[in-house]
């Protein structure tokens, strides 16, 4: 053995001496050729002991000597690139891990852009294209005959995963395509597959192997954000290979079990995005969730409660994986309990963004779809308790989307948890999200594709007709059912009845007082409806008569209840109230604002008052309002205004040649802002008593929906009071209102407060803002910055950012930067 070592040492030393000192190409070639027998190839390979000695002691030194001699003149010592190919053969045929480390080391050590740097980069590209990266990892997977060096494995791991970054930094604009991350990591994924094939073949042959190094490579690549490139190559192939092979399943399970804890989250998230279904994920992971605590935390806590950016199919695959095996189903039941508890927690509803609440709601419905009735019955009391508490908290929310989530989940969950009890039914508007949630409730078994793995998500367009439509737009069912006796009916053209009016027995009132009488004492339903429909037009046609009974009429309309089914009753009542308020704004606004804080009013009536005040203020502040006729000025039941004048003027305009440049149309005539004189009557009574609770009305308590509407109304009134004399006092009062409620727990209220701040910045003159409200603005700026950074509600963050931008524009306008 010692003689063999000595022979190898003498041969290598002679070759290295020749390489270092000689410039004769033939001599260099004759010195390198005998060394190739130690690589195991050729007609006369060296003995195994000599090959091991060469690889263990001399190979790296020889490669470094070759790199040090690399230059244009040295490569031309032999013709036709023979010397370059001879040197490359040592890198491509020798021990892969040493060749890889020498290549990366030489690239790192090369001085700037140079010939040697580019040659080493090209050689490394050939190394990767030849599949030598698989040999690098395969050498670390085989059972070592000598103790392994952890430092060597750590160095190899770092170099393998960070190769694109290192080459990009060294080569800059001269970087090769193979080293780009989008090209390198799929190639690395293919190398991992070749290593796994070699491991499986070795296990079938009875040899021991370890996939720990491959697991570390996979984990480190996923931590660096390359899950899509790596797992996009691995998962489809492993999904097919594990379908009929228990050995491949065991290798995959071991591969995932050896992933370091710090990389487990990244690997699992990438797997669930790349897997085709719960069954495929189950074959790849096995019972990893039961063996690894980090995997259990990620799959049953983090992905369900914290990470809500993933799609619904990913959520279905995750929960379907938990439902695939009897050992994992208790985790699914426990996850449902925790999800329902979080879904119904009032604190979570207030402080979590709406997308996260939708994510949790979807998870609840998918869990209910996968669990059986027996499993649900075992925990029925606990689940119903959490569900009922959550329904109450969600129905108390001011946000319609949160209430709708509560209704949908309550309907589905109550039917699944307690099928024998009375079903819960709610009325809500259907939208894309509600249809998707209802589609998730269908109990289906787990399968191998996302569509089969659980409830099929309904598409956005759910109004697809059942009949097949054939040419001409006629449904197939109708085409087949039509007989010859009906053919003659198809030839008739339907008569246009769109302009017909319903005949009524009662005539519409022609005076405002008649409308008041009809709405209060009349028992005739048709007369009552006619009065309601005619009231708006009569108020605009007879403003003097309307002012005489304005307060009485406002009181009647505010308390008016629907005696008969009238289409658009709420809209008719609201428009009539707005018309009365616009006609006599001071008196009606004083009455409405006083009734807002009065006893014995429902929340609906109080919100109606706020809506009417906002619409009336908008109408009063509209430029040129008096110069334009009201759209409802036509008498009730009378014919519409003739359109012939418009037609004639349009014909004249089209046939007239004009030689003057510019527009011939006159702009709207200037007129005073009618809201200027009554803005205080609308605003100050509303903001005065918001902190005084009543027996049936507490804005700072349970009536947060009305408080949010009040904040939005005050902001709208402030915005409509722009350029009015009372804008500055209104702004100060509104900022005090905002400052008192800035930490309110309801997101709808906080949105209203942020809108109010923006209204102050837009409506109050900038000089008055900095002169009278400077302290309030500085405090508001700090608060807005905190909201923009830490607020869980997305709309609140956007509103805070807009207010901050308005503040910056205000500062730039009044405090210009000094000229250099």
pLDDT at 662 over 80: no
* More confident: 629 or 185: 185
* More confident: 392 or 817: 392
Q: In sequence order, what are the residues at sequence separation of 6 or more whose Cβ sits closer than 8 angstroms to the Cβ of residue 334?
A: 300
Return the pLDDT at 504.
54
- Residue carrying structure tokens 């963004």: 353
Mean pLDDT is lowest, of 255-269, 446-460, 692-706, for: 446-460
Give the up-direction half-sphere exposure of residue 784: CA atoms within 13 A in the CB hemisphere.
26
Return the pLDDT at 479.
42
Instruction: Tell me how many degrees the CA angle 361-364-366 measures, rounded to the nearest 5.
Output: 110
Q: Where are the beta strands (DSSP E) in 494-616?
A: none
What span, in angstroms and rounded, lies between the C-alpha atoms of 40 and 176? 31
What span, in angstroms and rounded, lies between the C-alpha atoms of 255 and 215? 5
Number of neighbouring beta carbons within 10 Å of residue 85: 12
Return the pLDDT at 490.
54
Average pLDDT estimate for 634-653: 59
What span, in angstroms and rounded, lies between the C-alpha atoms of 480 and 492? 20
Residue 608 in contact with residue 572, Cβ under 8 Å?
no
Residue 237's pLDDT band (boundaries 50, 70, 90)?
very high
- Which of these, 630, 584, 612, 575, lies nearest to 717 by C-alpha position? 612
Beta bridge partners of 469: 475
DSSP-derived 3-state class of residue 658? coil
DSSP-derived 3-state class of residue 170? helix
Q: In sequence order, what are the residues at sequence separation of 6 or more whose Cβ sits closer than 8 angstroms to the Cβ of residue 801?
A: 788
Average pLDDT estimate for 620-627: 69
Q: What is the 3-state secondary structure (H, E, C) of 281-336?
A: HHHHHCCHHHHCHHHHHHHHHHHHHHCCCCCHHHHHHHHHHHHCCCCCHHHHHHHH
* 308-342 pLDDT per residue, tens: 888 889 999 999 999 988 899 999 999 999 999 99
- Residue carrying structure tokens 């500085």: 778
Q: What are phi and psi of 650, to 5 degrees?
A: -70, -40
Residue 624's pLDDT band (boundaries 50, 70, 90)?
low
Mean pLDDT is lowest, of 210-214, 230-234, 305-309, for: 305-309
What span, in angstroms and rounded, lies between the C-alpha atoms of 521 and 529? 13
What span, in angstroms and rounded, lies between the C-alpha atoms of 711 and 697? 16
Average pLDDT estimate for 409-438: 85
| Average pLDDT in the chain | 82
Q: What are phi and psi of 209, to 5 degrees?
A: -140, 160
Average pLDDT estimate for 606-632: 76
Residue 492's pLDDT band (boundaries 50, 70, 90)?
low
What span, in angstroms and rounded, lies between the C-alpha atoms of 375 and 634? 67
CA dihedral 752, 756, 757, 758 (to 10 degrees): 100
pLDDT at 272 over 60: yes
Beta bridge partners of 475: 469
Q: What are phi and psi of 738, to 5 degrees?
A: -65, -45
Q: By percentage, how much of the chain surpasses pLDDT 90?
A: 34
* 93-111 pLDDT per residue, tens: 888 888 999 999 888 888 7
Return the pLDDT at 820.
45
Average pLDDT estimate for 739-750: 89
Return the pLDDT at 440.
85
DSSP-derived 3-state class of residue 142? strand
pLDDT at 444 over 80: no
Average pLDDT estimate for 291-315: 90
Q: What is the 3-state secondary structure (H, E, C) of 270-296?
A: HHHHHCCCHHHHHHHHCCHHHHCHHHH
* 527-560 pLDDT per residue, tens: 888 888 888 888 888 889 889 999 999 999 998 8
* More confident: 26 or 283: 283
What span, in angstroms and rounded, lies between the C-alpha atoms of 559 and 401? 29
CA dihedral 733, 735, 736, 737 (to 10 degrees): 90
Give the up-direction half-sphere exposure of residue 131: CA atoms within 13 A in the CB hemisphere.
7
CA 119: distance to chain centroid? Answer: 46
What span, in angstroms and rounded, lies between the C-alpha atoms of 257 and 224? 19
Average pLDDT estimate for 595-600: 88
Looking at residue 177, the DSSP 8-state letter turns out to be G
Mean pLDDT is lowest, of 207-211, 504-508, 695-699, for: 504-508
Return the pLDDT at 465.
37
Average pLDDT estimate for 139-164: 80
Instruction: Tell me how many degrees the CA angle 191-197-203 measures, rounded to the nearest 5.
Output: 135
Rg (CA), the chain: 40
- Which of these, 782, 769, 682, 770, lies nearest to 739 by C-alpha position? 782
Torsion-angle region of 431 (φ positive above 0: left; ψ -120 to 50: alpha; else: beta):
beta
Question: Whole-model pTM?
Answer: 0.73
Return the pLDDT at 125.
93
What span, in angstroms and rounded, lies between the C-alpha atoms of 461 and 469? 17
What span, in angstroms and rounded, lies between the C-alpha atoms of 735 and 409? 39
- Classify residue 402 by burial, with Cβ atoms within 10 Å: 0-12, 13-18, 19+: buried
Q: What are phi and psi of 635, to 5 degrees?
A: -65, 155
pLDDT at 562 over 90: no
Mean pLDDT is lowest, of 28-42, 126-140, 576-590, for: 28-42
CA 192: distance to chain centroid? Answer: 33
- Classify residue 815 by burial, with Cβ atoms within 10 Å: 0-12, 13-18, 19+: exposed
Q: What is the 3-state secondary structure (H, E, C) of 186-210?
A: HHHHHHHHHHHHHHHHHHHCCCCEC
Mean pLDDT is lowest, of 168-177, 225-234, 376-385, 628-637, for: 628-637
**Which range, 29-43, 109-123, 359-373, has the best average confidence (pLDDT)?**
359-373
Return the pLDDT at 673.
75
Mean pLDDT is lowest, of 117-121, 457-461, 480-484, for: 457-461
Return the pLDDT at 336.
92
Residue 622's pLDDT band (boundaries 50, 70, 90)?
confident
Residue 682's pLDDT band (boundaries 50, 70, 90)?
very high
pLDDT at 10 over 90: no
- Burial call 141-161: b when 16+ CB within 10 Å, e when fewer: beeeeeeeeeeeeeebbebbb
Average pLDDT estimate for 709-736: 91
* 493-536 pLDDT per residue, tens: 776 666 555 555 566 778 888 888 888 887 777 888 888 888 88
Return the pLDDT at 28.
82
CA dist list (Å): 746 to 349, 692, 693, 749: 9, 19, 18, 5
Residue 324 in contact with residue 318, Cβ under 8 Å?
no
Residues listed for the chain: 820
- Which of these, 560, 561, 516, lies nearest to 539 by C-alpha position? 516
């Amino acid at each position: 053995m010692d003689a063999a070592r000595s022979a190898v040492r003498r041969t290598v030393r002679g070759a290295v001496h020749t390489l270092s000192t000689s410039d004769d190409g033939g001599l260099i070639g004759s010195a390198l050729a005998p060394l190739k027998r130690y690589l195991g190839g050729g007609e006369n390979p060296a003995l195994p002991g000599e090959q091991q000695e060469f690889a263990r002691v001399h190979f790296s030194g020889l490669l470094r000597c070759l790199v040090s001699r690399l230059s244009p003149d040295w490569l031309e010592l032999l013709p036709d690139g023979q010397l370059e190919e001879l040197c490359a053969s040592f890198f491509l045929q020798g021990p892969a891990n040493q060749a890889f480390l020498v290549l990366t080391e030489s690239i790192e050590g090369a001085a700037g852009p140079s010939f040697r740097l580019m040659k080493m980069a090209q050689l490394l590209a050939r190394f990767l294209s030849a599949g030598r990266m698989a040999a690098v990892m395969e050498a670390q997977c085989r059972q070592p005959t000598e103790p392994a060096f952890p430092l060597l494995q750590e160095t190899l791991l770092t170099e393998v995963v960070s190769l694109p970054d290192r080459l990009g930094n060294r080569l800059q604009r001269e970087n090769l395509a193979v080293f780009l991350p989008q090209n390198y990591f799929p190639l690395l994924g293919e190398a991992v597959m070749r290593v796994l094939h070699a491991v499986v073949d070795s296990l079938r042959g009875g040899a021991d192997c370890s996939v720990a190094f491959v697991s570390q490579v996979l984990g480190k690549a996923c931590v660096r954000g390359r899950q899509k490139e790596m797992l996009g190559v691995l998962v489809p192939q492993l999904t097919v290979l594990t379908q009929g092979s228990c050995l491949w399943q065991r290798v995959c399970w071991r591969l995932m079990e050896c992933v370091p804890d710090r990389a487990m989250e990244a690997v699992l998230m990438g797997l669930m995005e790349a897997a085709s279904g719960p069954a495929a994920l189950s074959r790849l992971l096995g019972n990893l969730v039961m063996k690894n605590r980090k995997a259990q935390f990620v799959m049953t806590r983090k992905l369900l409660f914290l990470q809500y950016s993933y799609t619904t199919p990913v959520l279905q695959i995750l929960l379907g994986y938990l439902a695939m095996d009897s050992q994992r189903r208790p985790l699914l039941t426990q996850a449902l309990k925790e999800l329902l508890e979080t879904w119904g927690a009032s604190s979570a509803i207030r402080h979590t963004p709406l997308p996260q609440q939708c994510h949790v709601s979807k998870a609840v419905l998918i869990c209910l779809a996968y669990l059986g009735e027996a499993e649900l019955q075992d925990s029925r009391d606990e689940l119903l308790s959490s569900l009922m508490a959550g329904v109450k908290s969600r129905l108390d929310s001011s946000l319609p989307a949160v209430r709708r989530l509560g209704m949908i989940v309550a309907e589905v969950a109550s039917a699944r948890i307690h099928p024998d009890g009375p079903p819960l039914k709610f009325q809500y508007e259907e939208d894309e999200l509600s249809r998707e949630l209802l589609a998730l409730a269908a109990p289906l078994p787990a399968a191998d594709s996302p569509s089969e793995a659980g409830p099929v998500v309904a598409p956005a367009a759910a109004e697809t007709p059942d009949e097949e439509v054939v040419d001409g737009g006629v449904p197939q069912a109708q085409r087949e059912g039509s007989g010859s006796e009906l053919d003659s009916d198809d030839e008739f053209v339907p008569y246009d009845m769109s302009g017909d009016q319903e005949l009524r027995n009662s005539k519409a009132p022609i005076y405002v007082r008649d409308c008041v009488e009809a709405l209060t004492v009349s028992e005739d339903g048709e007369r009552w409806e006619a009065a309601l429909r005619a009231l708006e037009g009569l108020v605009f046609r007879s403003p003097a008569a309307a002012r005489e009974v304005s307060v009485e009429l406002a009181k009647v309309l505010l308390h008016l209840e629907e005696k008969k089914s009238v289409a658009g009753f709420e809209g008719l009542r609201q428009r009539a109230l707005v018309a009365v308020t616009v006609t006599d704004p001071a008196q009606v606004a004083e009455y409405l604002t006083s009734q807002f804080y009065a006893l014995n009013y429902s929340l609906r009536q109080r919100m109606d008052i706020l809506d009417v005040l906002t619409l009336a203020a908008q109408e009063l502040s509209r430029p040129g309002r008096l110069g334009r006729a009201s759209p409802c000025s036509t008498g009730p039941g009378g014919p519409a205004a003739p359109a012939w004048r418009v037609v004639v003027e349009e014909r004249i305009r089209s046939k007239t040649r004009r030689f003057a440049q510019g527009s011939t149309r006159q702009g709207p005539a200037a007129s005073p802002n009618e809201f200027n004189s009554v803005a205080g009557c609308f605003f100050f009574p509303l903001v005065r008593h918001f902190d005084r609770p009543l027996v049936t009305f507490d804005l700072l308590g349970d009536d947060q929906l009305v408080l949010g509407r009040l904040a939005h109304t005050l902001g709208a009134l402030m915005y409509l009071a722009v350029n009015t004399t009372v804008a500055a006092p209104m702004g100060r009062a509104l900022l005090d209102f905002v400052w008192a409620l800035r930490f309110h727990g309801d997101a709808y209220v906080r949105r209203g407060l942020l809108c109010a701040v923006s209204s102050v910045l837009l409506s109050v003159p900038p000089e008055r803002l900095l002169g009278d409200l400077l302290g309030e603005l500085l405090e508001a700026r700090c608060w807005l910055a905190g909201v923009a950074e830490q607020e869980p509600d997305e709309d609140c963050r956007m509103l805070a950012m807009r207010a901050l931008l308005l503040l910056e524009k205000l500062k730039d306008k009044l405090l210009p930067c000094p000229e250099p």
